[in-house]
Structure 1
Amino acid sequence: MPSRLRSALLAAALCHLSCAPLLAQEPAPAPSVERLDPALDAVIAPGTPVERVATGFGFTEGPLWHEGRLWFSDVTGDRMRAVSPDGRVEELIANSGGLPNPPAGASIGSNGMAPAPDGTVLMTQMGARRIVKVGKDGRLTPFLSDYQGKRLNSPNDLVYDGSGALWFTDPPFGLFNGMDRDPAKELPFNAVFRYAGGRLTPVITDMTLPNGIGFSPDFRTLYVGNYGPEMYVRAYDVRPDGSLSAPRELIRFPGGRGGPDGLKVDTAGNIWMTGPGGIRIVTPKGKVLGQIRLPETAANLAFAEDGYTVYITGSTSIYRLHSKVKGMLPLYADRK
């Protein structure tokens, strides 16, 4: 999450405490699905409701369906939590960003998560600037923290490809003293990394703020979102050796609240991507079929349960809706 959202979140929190009468008079618009193309009906049925499952958090991110619940991060609250389908919330990890004495309101909590082949869950720690393994007992074990002896910026989102290689984005959002200008920044780029065979390789280094990441169902296309200043999602062809070719812009976003943050792909190949105004459902050719609008900023989403349930992390809340198309579940998901 970029630093400019921090002030907005703090202002929202203060308004929540001091402007209750005003908020009561001006309720936020209800979440809804906007149909922009008739083909959306094959993905989300007309009239599908978007319900709020839980609320009261700082800034929710990194959703993962695991062991029958949605695990998610609160990047400003510095907590990792789980919410059950009936809305019950449990704190799983305090100080999930791993930074001692973190500054209040900074983007230093945990973020993206992905199940690993050994039964653990990989979790990015923006504060500690690393990826850790979350064991069955909740213990954290360091996994990746540097490239060629230089510390990572603040790993954000991550995904395994079909061969078992791990890919992750590494923007500077967790460097709270100016991001790219932070003296603590050690790498000269904000990369997309690939980790395979014990080797970490920066495969994309020309994006300013790489963020959401995902693959097509056949794993031959990689999608990566760039949060800003230019907001877009790129597609790349993936060669058998893991190298990339043919970069092209799939979609470019206008200005507005939010940005191309998290993204996921369904089994029909549609890309569900956050952006200003909500979540767009986009075909592999870049055609926008529709948009899920929320009263808050949509940060990320996850396909859950049987793959037809979509959970959305939207600022202070968790939302849910039903999809007619099954989503791609993580490679090593427990399928519960």
Structure 2
Amino acid sequence: MSDSQADWTLVIDGIDFGEGPRWRDGRLWFSDFYQQTISSVEIHPDGSGTRHVELEYDGRPSGLGWLPDGRLLFVSMLDRKVMRREADGTIVEHADLSHVAGGHTNDMVVADDGTAYVGNFGFDFEAGDSVETTTLAIVRPDGSVTADTRELLFPNGAVITDSGNTLIVGETFGGQYTAFTIADDGSLTEPRVWAEVEGTAPDGCTLDADHHIWFSDAAGRQVVRIGGSMTMSDPGTVRLGTPNNTYACMLGGDDGTTLFVLTCDDADPSVAAGTATGAIYSTRVDRPRAGRP
């Protein structure tokens, strides 16, 4: 494993808790739990950014994605739903996950055909309840919902490979990434351990062209790059220290080699809500973005 130094550029600040960063149409999109907004960020040549609030939502928006026709999907954490923004800007319910989610819903990755894979806490994390396993929700493009059968420990950030046939999801309390084969009907098969990341809490993540994953470590001020069948002690695993606690990251920019990290003081709403102490930073890396999100 190698510890490297990064030259971080401040993109924007004034965020409470940023989540779900996505690169789309030349901008970085993200949600803010406690400011109850979804925004896009226009990136300037010097690396700084201008924030544009795309919508306000009376709830806690989280993971982001898009249907093939360009309509925005976003996770509504507290009521355990996926919402959809129509072409005219109205917000409607896309899917109700309350019957399959064991806790607040959180991150989401959307496949090329519009099938969404949504994680959830599995228990009441903010109330301090005991850790319990849960399953991924599979949301079809028409909004119908099924639950995968594989029990996971806090399924969180996930990616889909370029081929579209493999989903890889981080287990925040499981210390590993688990991969699935995506069947033609969107169901998940052949669960297997993809990489072991003991000692970290993998959160939001992004895939690069070498099929390595960059993930934000919610238990440490760092982002980590790891490949399949690797461990944290592998010489090829890379760790970059971040300016503050980080909970999500995304590759983007014109050539896909800008790594954006979302940071704040704490994930706890009693600490982060209303403080505007969060920020987005960026640095350059060698390998470009690949796959989804």
Q: TM-score band (shorter)?
A: 0.7 to 0.9
Cα separation, 1, equivalents of 2:113 and 2:24: 21
Q: 1:176 deviation in Å?
A: 5.0
Specify which of 256, 267, 276 is matched with residue 209 of structure 2: 267
Cα separation, 2, equivalents of 1:235 and 1:51: 33
More helix by share: 1
Trace 1:226-265 onto structure 2 (pairs within 5 A).
226-228=171-173, 230-241=174-185, 242-248=187-193, 250-254=195-199, 259-265=201-207
Q: 1:110 deviation in Å?
A: 0.9
* Residue 75 of structure 1 pairs with residue 75 of structure 2: no
TM-score, normalised relative to structure 2 = 0.78
Deviation per residue, 1:172-230 (Å, 9 max, x gap): 5787555679xxxxxx96321223364422114412311111123323432111122x4
Pick closer, same or farther for the CA change 1:219–1:204 going to 2, 3 Å. Answer: farther
Cα separation, 2, equivalents of 1:67 and 1:216: 20
Unaligned runs of 5+ residues in structure 1 are: 1-34, 38-45, 100-108, 182-187, 332-336
1:303 maps to 251
2:77 maps to 126
Moved more, 46-55 or 280-289: 46-55
- The amino acid across from 2:253 in the alignment is E
Cα separation, 1, equivalents of 2:107 and 2:226: 20
Q: 1:237 deviation in Å?
A: 3.9
1:17 maps to none
Specify which of 310, 325, 332 is matched with residue 287 of structure 2: 325
2:261 maps to 312
Trace 1:72-221 onto structure 2 (pairs within 5 A).
72-85=30-43, 86-94=48-56, 96=57, 98-99=58-59, 109-146=60-97, 153-162=103-112, 164-172=114-122, 176-177=126-127, 190-196=134-140, 198=142, 199-221=144-166
Cα separation, 2, equivalents of 1:174 and 1:309: 35
Q: 1:165 deviation in Å?
A: 2.8
Cα separation, 1, equivalents of 2:188 and 2:53: 39
Q: 1:239 deviation in Å?
A: 4.4
Cα separation, 2, equivalents of 1:119 and 1:82: 15
1:18 maps to none
Q: 1:123 deviation in Å?
A: 0.8
Q: Is the 8 A contact 2:165 2:183 kept in 1?
A: yes
Aligned to 2:237, the other structure's residue is in SS state: strand
Pick closer, same or farther for the CA change 1:67–1:141 going to 2, 3 Å. Answer: farther
More strand by share: 2
Deviation per residue, 1:240-274 (Å, 9 max, x gap): 4533214225113316xxx2111111122111122
Pick closer, same or farther for the CA change 1:324–1:311 going to 2, 3 Å. Answer: same
- The amino acid across from 1:302 in the alignment is M
Pick closer, same or farther for the CA change 1:207–1:137 going to 2, 3 Å. Answer: same
Cα separation, 1, equivalents of 2:224 and 2:94: 33
Moved more, 71-80 or 56-65: 71-80
Q: Is the 8 A contact 1:130 1:152 kept in 2?
A: no
2:2 maps to 36
Larger Rg: 1
Cα separation, 1, equivalents of 2:37 and 2:113: 31
Q: Is the 8 A contact 2:37 2:61 kept in 1?
A: yes
Q: Is the 8 A contact 1:189 1:205 kept in 2?
A: no
Deviation per residue, 1:276-324 (Å, 9 max, x gap): 3311111122144311211211211122233222221122110112232
2:273 maps to none
Cα separation, 1, equivalents of 2:249 and 2:40: 14
Pick closer, same or farther for the CA change 1:66–1:162 going to 2, 3 Å. Answer: closer
Specify which of 49, 69, 78 is matched with residue 7 of structure 2: 49
1:24 maps to none
1:334 maps to none
Pick closer, same or farther for the CA change 1:162–1:299 going to 2, 3 Å. Answer: same
Moved more, 135-144 or 121-130: 135-144
Count of aligned pairs: 267
- The amino acid across from 1:79 in the alignment is T
